[in-house]
């Protein structure tokens, strides 16, 4: 019989599991704290648990990390881990240190079914959903590895913010996502505030509503276009959930959200969506002058990370700045995402694709360097 992976549980789930072993909730709390706060995977070292429980757990359960198949540290402090998730698939997590915070970018799926034009993960296609344990294991590994490496004093966290901006569409893996989010938020787990956990979505409208009800954290929405005609081309999911419905869901989300704005991400594609007319149309869209509802928001402009199969180019710096100015002049707070980890190819989906595609070493060598998402979407 396969062992139960305790990383698959949020605290309520672990409590229910422990109840099945005849244990009270406080035992589950102790166990949860050993796993997530101390990073302990060996039951025999969980000294304040009754020996009988430790022995029982050792026969039926485990704390199952993901095998690390690559680790790359950038000169700027960015660290990227590549995890094996079986069948030739790998996913990645990226740590981005900044002065006042440490952000971990986490993956939710191996590949992605949405298939955005500009996304290397989307071009790889969809392999499978990650389990809750596989999502949580990325944070578990990164947090405890960093604490050891940085020799942090007991109780001090390395990771202060999590963004679900790695591979995959988190809201298409909803049932696995939510317990992982709860573990991030739990005071007995990672104790992150709702403002410091961000779900980024390409716009799965019904699931935005469910997240609002079940686990409202900070929300980032990948917009990329001001009109349905253009967004249909860039984000195929738009054909199912067009802009009017998406903005309605965003506005409604703000009822429960931990912050009073939605972050709109906008990937800057040369000549495609980066013209002054696009910026003006965006202003009209989010201010409710284009038929959709008004949504309090901030914009995060992402310089496109080019990859050959996309056939797209990154907008020039000047173009990005003048686009940003139009939004700012209309009173919309707008940031341009910083370039991080360029020397380690730290961008969504890229390294994972390399592992899956072991044969094309030549192609790999000639791939352009892609920079990593920094995290201006996360609250300090």
In sign, the C-alpha dihedral spanning 278, 279, 284, 287 is positive
Considering the complex, state which of residue 257 and residue 302 has its C-beta at the smaller distance from ligand SAH.
Answer: 302
Contact between 124 and ligand SAH (CB under 6 A)? no
Q: Which residue is nearest to ligand SF4 (CB)?
A: 122
Tell the smallest beta-carbon distance from residue 107 to ligand SF4 (Å).
9
119 binds ligand SAH (CB under 6 A): yes
- How many whole angstroms separate alpha carbon 228 and alpha carbon 211? 24
Catalytic residue numbers? 92, 348
- CB nearer to ligand SAH: pick between 46 and 220: 220
Nearer to ligand SAH (CB atom), residue 157 or residue 367: 367
Residue number with CB closer to ligand SF4 (121 or 127): 121
CB under 6 A: which stretch of 39-47, 146-154, 197-205, 291-299 binds ligand SAH? 197-205
User: Is residue 32 close enough to count as binding ligand SAH by CB under 6 A?
Assistant: no
Give the one entry of ligand SAH, ligand SF4, none that residue 304 binds, where binding means its C-beta sits below a cut-off of 5 to 8 angstroms depending on kind.
ligand SAH
Using DSSP bridges, classify how beta strands 197-201 and 161-164 pair: parallel, antiparallel or unpaired. Answer: parallel
Q: What is the rounded radius of gyration, in angstroms, for the C-alpha atoms of the chain?
A: 21
Query: For binding to ligand SF4 (CB under 6 A), which residues are involved?
Result: 112, 114-116, 119, 121-122, 168-169, 202, 222
Which of 48, 54, 47, 51 shows the shortest CA–CA distance to 6?
54
Among 79, 348, 351, 372, binds ligand SAH (CB under 6 A): 348
How distant, in Å, are the alpha carbons of 91, 120, 308 from that of 362?
Answer: 21, 17, 13
> Which partner in ligand SAH, ligand SF4, none is near 226 (CB below 5 to 8 A by kind)?
none
Indicate which of ligand SF4, ligand SAH, none lies near residue 305 (CB less than 5 to 8 Å, by partner kind).
Answer: ligand SAH
Binding mask 271-310 for ligand SAH (x = CB under 6 A): -------------------------------x-xx-----
Among 9, 118, 190, 323, binds ligand SAH (CB under 6 A): 118
Cα–Cα distance for residue pair 338/346, rounded to 1 Å = 13
Candidates 5, 200, 377, 378; binder of ligand SAH (CB under 6 A) is 200
Q: Which is nearer to ligand SF4, 129 or 160 (CB)?
A: 129
Choose the one of ligand SAH, ligand SF4, none that binds residue 115, judging by a C-beta under 5 to 8 angstroms depending on kind: ligand SF4
> Counting Cβ atoms within 10 Å, is residue 48 exposed (0-12), middle (13-18) or buried (19+)?
exposed
- Told to check if 169 binds ligand SAH by CB under 6 A, we report yes
Complex with ligand SAH: residue 13 or 236, whichever CB lies closer: 236
**Closest distance between ligand SF4 and the C-beta of residue 13, in Å?**
27
Return the H-helix or E-strand segment holding 97.
Answer: strand 89-98
| Placement of tokens 């009988």 in the chain | 52
Q: Judged by CB under 6 A, does residue 253 bind ligand SAH?
A: no
Largest CA distance in the chain: 68
Alpha carbons within 13 A on the beta-carbon side of 47: 1
Which stretches does DSSP call E strand in the chain? Answer: 4-5, 61-62, 68-73, 79-86, 89-98, 101-105, 109-111, 126-129, 161-164, 197-201, 218-222, 262-268, 297-303, 334-336, 339-340, 372-373
| 165 binds, options ligand SAH, ligand SF4, none, Cβ within 5 to 8 A by partner type | ligand SAH
Q: What are phi and psi of 253, to 5 degrees?
A: -55, -35
Residues 92-111 that bind ligand SAH (CB under 6 A): none
Cα separations (Å) of 83 from 95, 163, 279, 353?
A: 14, 17, 38, 12
Asked if residues 76 and 98 have their Cβ atoms less than 8 Å apart, the reply is no
The percent of the chain in helix, strand and coil, each rounded to the nearest 5, is 40, 20, 40
């Amino acid at each position: 019989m396969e062992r139960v992976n305790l990383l698959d549980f949020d605290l309520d789930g672990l409590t229910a599991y422990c109840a099945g072993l005849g244990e009270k909730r406080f035992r589950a709390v102790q166990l949860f704290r050993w796993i997530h706060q101390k990073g302990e995977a060996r039951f025999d070292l969980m000294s304040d648990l009754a020996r009988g429980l430790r022995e029982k757990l050792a026969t039926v359960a485990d704390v199952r990390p993901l095998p690390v198949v690559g680790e790359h540290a950038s000169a700027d402090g960015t660290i990227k881990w590549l995890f094996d998730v079986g069948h030739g698939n790998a996913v990645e997590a990226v740590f981005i240190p900044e002065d006042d915070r440490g952000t971990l970018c986490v993956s939710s799926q191996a590949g992605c079914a949405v298939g955005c034009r500009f996304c290397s993960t989307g071009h790889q296609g969809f392999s499978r959903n990650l389990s809750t344990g596989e999502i949580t294991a990325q944070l578990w590994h990164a947090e405890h590895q960093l604490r050891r490496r940085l020799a942090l004093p007991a109780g001090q966290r390395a990771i202060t913010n999590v963004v679900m901006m790695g591979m995959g569409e988190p809201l298409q893996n909803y049932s696995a996502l939510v317990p992982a989010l709860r573990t991030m938020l739990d005071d007995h787990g990672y104790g992150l505030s709702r403002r410091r956990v961000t779900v980024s979505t390409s716009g799965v409208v019904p699931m935005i509503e469910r997240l609002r009800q079940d686990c409202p954290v900070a929300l980032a929405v990948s917009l990329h276009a001001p009109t349905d005609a253009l967004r249909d081309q860039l984000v195929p999911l738009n054909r199912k959930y067009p802009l009017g419905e998406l903005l309605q869901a965003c506005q409604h989300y703000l009822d429960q959200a931990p912050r009073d704005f939605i972050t709109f991400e906008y990937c800057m594609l040369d000549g495609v969506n980066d013209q002054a007319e696009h910026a003006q149309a965006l202003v009209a869209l989010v201010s409710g002058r284009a038929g959709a509802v008004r949504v309090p928001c901030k914009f995060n402009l992402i310089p496109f990370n080019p990859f050959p199969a996309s056939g797209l180019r990154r907008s020039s710096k000047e173009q990005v700045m003048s686009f940003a100015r139009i939004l700012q002049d209309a009173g919309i707070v707008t940031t341009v995402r910083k370039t991080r980890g360029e020397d380690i190819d730290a961008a969504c989906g890229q390294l994972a694709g390399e592992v899956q595609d072991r044969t094309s070493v030549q192609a790999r060598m000639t791939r352009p360097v892609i920079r990593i998402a920094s995290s201006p979407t996360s609250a300090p």
